[in-house]
Amino acid sequence: MYADIVLPLAQPAYTYAIPEGMTLEAGDAVSVQFGLKKYYTGLVWRVHENPPAVKRVKRVVRKVYDRPLLDARQRALWEWIASYYLCTLGEVMRCALPSLIKPSAETDSQLLDDTFYPRTERYYALAASYADSAQLNETFDRFERRAPRLYEALLEVVSALENKPDGEVARRLLTADATPLQTLVKKGILTMTEHTPEVEYGTPQFRLPTLTPHQQEALAKLKADFKAGRTTALLHGITGSGKTEIYIHLIAEVLKEGGDVLLMVPEIALTAQLIERMERIFGSRVTAYHSRLTNHRRSETYLRLNRSLGGEFVVGVRSSIFLPLKRLQLIIVDEEHDASYKQAEPAPRYSARDVAVWMAHQTAGRTILGSATPSLESWLHAASGKYGKAKLTERYGDAELPKIYLSDTRRAAQRGERHGHFNKLLIDKIEATLARGEQVMLFQNRRGFAPYLECPQCGWTARCPHCNVTLSYHKVREQLVCHYCGHTEAAMVRCPSCKVVDLQPMGFGTEKIEEQISELFPEARVGRLDRDQLTSETAFNRIVDDFAAHRTDILVGTQMITKGFDFEDVSLVGVLNADNLLLNPDFRASERAFQLLQQVSGRAGRRRAGGEVVIQTADPAHPVLRQLLNDDFEQMARDQLAERQAYFYPPYARLTMVTLRHPQVQIVRRAAAELADRLRRDMGRRVLGPIAPPVDRIRGEYLMQLMLKVESGASRLKANELLREKLQQLQQLPDYKSVTISVNVDPQ
Ligand code: ADP
Ligand code: ZN
Ligand code: ZN
């Protein structure tokens, strides 16, 4: 017998022989040798009887876990991802399985050492022949007279078993010494087994919040849509309207029936606050899964879920879509518009939201997409009736929507009403808010102190030696940092080019805002949250906790402060500069700006009336800002969709971005032209480019890009086949063998 085995490499599956006496099935993990010096944990994809066309077939060394790591549903998912996103199963494997359950090593025994096995415990049970009470009583009598220590130990085990329905008791719950327990096992009175501890759930009695009539209506609508056969539904509800409360009701229903639930949230929105909120209702059912967990924890979680019999509730990020939830009946994608559901790098460049929609369709399960500002894709599908749809238009309780002010930065500058990056309006409002003892959040979508340093004399700027971008200035660390490749150098003072004057920081990031606000309000306690602080879970939590407990008054941050937080005392939100969101050269810029600004605004006045938002901009007449001011998502959506249709962009077209890279600019240019030519022969005007992207050199390699634009009705898989074929042809040409090519399907 042979097995096709997927290895965690960008390679096809390889066929290995299954040794006599070893039984394998699809999904099993095995240890195999690949190449001369390397052992990998691979996954059995298929077992068959066809010998491969090679002289010496390698044999599977060892089976790794006692049960398959993937079931049929997961294998179908991996195969779909590999074909839809144009990657190999090995690449899916790299991303889908936690690292400690798929180690590679130089020898098999080292691989065995490196493989994570969950903690096991000893369990004692009464041997079958002693279940009869006469036999047991006789033994007790005998021990009572002659072996008091055995008597004590046996008595303890028997009484502990009285309220254990599964007939076994964990060693850790017994006080008896090891020796008498061992003797009892030797005498055949007790049996001892070693296995992983089970989580005890008890009977599900969840205390659910009472829904308001509006929320009830939305819940009923979602259920009706599912009943009518739709597998995906959009819950479009403004921030604070109680989307989460509706999720809770749906989650409880599934858990009560022993089904599994997956609630996905964007990475940075998965906060302790959200987990605690879920734990208050679902207790120990809640399993968190995110990248700040240790590898150990993630591996343990995967293996535990793989043994579970259902009733699991995972709150996780993008990658939790790969967890082995065998009875998955409900997936909720919260903040479904969030770009972080799409993995940009490395392959598989999948969108967990789109995968969730596909999964519901596959298994006739249910997927809910929730958002205050849905992606235009989802909004259009809901409007056309492809998805179910429910709306929530009111905030819960007395909370009103915040009042939004657009503050003109140019006019403020003309009037001399601008201090640093703050208009007078924003300063006044901060002052009033602090005076009332309330809190302020300030948003700037750039970290660091300044995006670049420039010489006012000769115009020299500090640039990354490996990438075609400026280096960002981080003042606290006195460093220049490349946000593309991580290159870091000490910040210089004097211009290295003309050697005359000092360099000036240009533009501004969160660090500079933090510095200026501290100068403007020396009394205020200021915190800052951006990726620079994301180094550890504790650092992140400390900043959030300080703000939540009102130990800080002002929180400055990037995107990170816009999601998932519910701070009661925040009544003012300031956006320092909306223009760089609106002017982004991307067809999604307007949509994204609207989503982000509305999300930031949603942080103000969540619990009380009188929340305020000040948005600073040089262009207060911008249509998207007007739509935001009027809280008119629908108008924004219709405008943007009309534009997308006119210029043939998603959701009316499907995009695939092909990026080629090489250290030599001539080679990458020629390869890109060649590929474009070959694709045009079959796809004609659906091929755009090649062009050099705005940042056309990263990590010492030059980049060229091609874009494929295909009608959204056309077969994605057929277009993929064609592209796959052309890429293979290109890479067989000797000149272009060394060109790296990556494909991004549905780029975000
Ligand atoms: P969303 O997820 O739409 O932003 P949430 O579900 O977080 O909204 O609700 C906002 C706030 O209002 C939360 O603090 C929540 O506890 C409260 N809330 C919403 N609906 C209810 C309800 N039916 N009963 C009690 N509290 C509610
Ligand atoms: Zn760089
Ligand atoms: Zn200079």
Q: How does DSSP assign 337-371, residue by residue?
A: T-GGGB--SSS---BHHHHHHHHHHHHT-EEEEEE
Is residue 598 lining ligand 1, measured as CB closer than 6 Å?
A: no
Any atom of ligand 1 within 6 Å of the Cβ of 273 = no
Residues 64-118: tens digit of each pLDDT: 998 999 999 999 999 999 999 999 999 999 999 999 999 999 999 898 888 888 8
Over the range 338-354, which residues count as b (16 or more CB within 10 Å of their CB) and which as e?
bebbbbeeebbbbbbbb
Tens-place pLDDT, residues 684-732:
999 998 999 888 999 999 999 999 999 887 777 888 999 999 999 999 9
pLDDT score for 199: 65
Do 316 and 274 meet the contact criterion of CB atoms below 8 Å apart? no
Rounded (5°) CA angle 354-360-362: 100
Minimum-distance ligand 1 atom for the alpha carbon of 209: 24
Q: What percent of the chain has pLDDT over 70?
A: 97
In sequence order, the β-bridge partners of residue 390 are: 235
Average pLDDT over residues 570-595: 90
What separation in angstroms does the CA of 594 have from each of 485, 623, 625, 628, 629? Answer: 29, 10, 8, 7, 10
User: Would you say the CB of residue 329 lies under 6 angstroms from ligand 1?
Assistant: no
- Regarding the beta carbon of 390 and ligand 1, being less than 6 Å apart is answered no
Alpha carbon nearest to ligand 1 atom 5, residue: 242
Ligand 1: residue whose CA is nearest its atom 11: 240
Residue by residue, what is the 3-state secondary structure of 111-177?
HHHHCCCCCCEEEEEECHHHCCHHHHHHHHHHHHHHCHHHHHHHHHHHHHHCCCCCCCEEHHHCCCC
Least confident of 230-234, 537-541, 548-552: 537-541
pLDDT digits (tens, 9 = 90+) for 436-469: 999 999 999 888 888 888 888 888 888 999 988 8
| More confident position, 660 or 504 | 660
Phi/psi region, residue 701 (left: phi>0; alpha: psi -120 to 50; beta: rest), is: beta
* Ligand that comes closest to the CA of residue 454: 3
- Residue 271 confidence (pLDDT) above 80: no
CA of 461 to the centre of ligand 3 (A): 8
Whether ligand 1 lies within 6 angstroms of the CB of 117 is answered as: no
Task: For residue 474, give the H/E element and its range.
Answer: strand 472-474
pLDDT at 497: 87
DSSP structure class, residue 585: S
**CA separation for the pair 601, 612 (Å, rounded):** 8
Could you say which DSSP state residue 463 is in? B
CA angle 694, 698, 699 (to 5 degrees): 170
Which of 66-75, 191-200, 470-479, 630-639 is least confident? 191-200
Q: Has residue 262 got a pLDDT over 70?
A: yes
- Look at residues 630, 649, 631 and name the one whose alpha carbon lies nearest to residue 641: 649
- What CA–CA distance (Å, rounded) separates 208 from 206? 6
Answer yes or no: are the C-beta atoms of 355 and 570 closer than 8 Å. no
Does ligand 1 lie within 6 Å of residue 599's CB atom? no
Question: Ligand 1: does its nearest atom lie under 6 Å from the Cβ of 215?
Answer: yes
Ligand nearest the Cα of residue 498 is 3
pLDDT value at residue 565: 72
The owner of tokens 């969540």 is: 606
CA of 370 from ligand 1 middle (Å) equals 14
| DSSP string covering 631-685 | T-HHHHHHHHHHHHHHHT-TTSEEEEEEEEEESSHHHHHHHHHHHHHHHHHHHGG
User: Which ligand 1 atom sits nearest the alpha carbon of residue 237?
Assistant: 3
Q: Which numbered atom of ligand 1 lies nearest the CA of 602?
A: 4
Among 455, 484, 454, 479, residue whose Cα is nearest residue 469: 484
Q: What is the mean pLDDT of the chain?
A: 90
Mutate which of 210, 217, 244 for ligand 1 pocket (most atoms within 8 A of beta carbon): 244
What does the pLDDT read at residue 445? 87
> Ligand 2 centroid vs 591 CA: distance in angstroms?
29
Three-state secondary structure string covering 278-303: HHHHHHHHEEEECCCCCHHHHHHHHH
The strand pairing partners of 687, in sequence order, are 708
How far apart CA 342 and CA 359 sit, in angstroms, is: 16
- Average pLDDT rounded to a whole number, residues 636-650: 94
Comparing C-alpha atoms, which of 137, 166, 134, 171 is closest to residue 156?
A: 171
The answer, yes or no, to whether any atom of ligand 1 lies below 6 A from the CB of 212, is yes
Cβ(249) – ligand 1 distance below 6 Å: no
Phi/psi at 609 (nearest 5 deg)? -75, 165
Specify the pTM.
Answer: 0.87
User: pLDDT-derived band of residue 633, with 50, 70 and 90 as boundaries?
Assistant: very high
Ligand 3 center from residue 429 Cα (angstroms): 39
Contact 237 CB / ligand 1 (< 6 Å): yes
Strand-strand pairing, 328-334 and 366-371: parallel
Mean per-residue pLDDT, 355-363: 93
Distance CA 437, CA 431 (A): 10
pLDDT in tens, 10-34: 888 999 999 999 999 999 999 999 9
Q: To test the ligand 1 pocket, which listed residue (210, 234, 236, 245) has its Cβ within 8 A of the most ligand atoms?
A: 245
603 close to ligand 1 (CB < 6 Angstrom): no
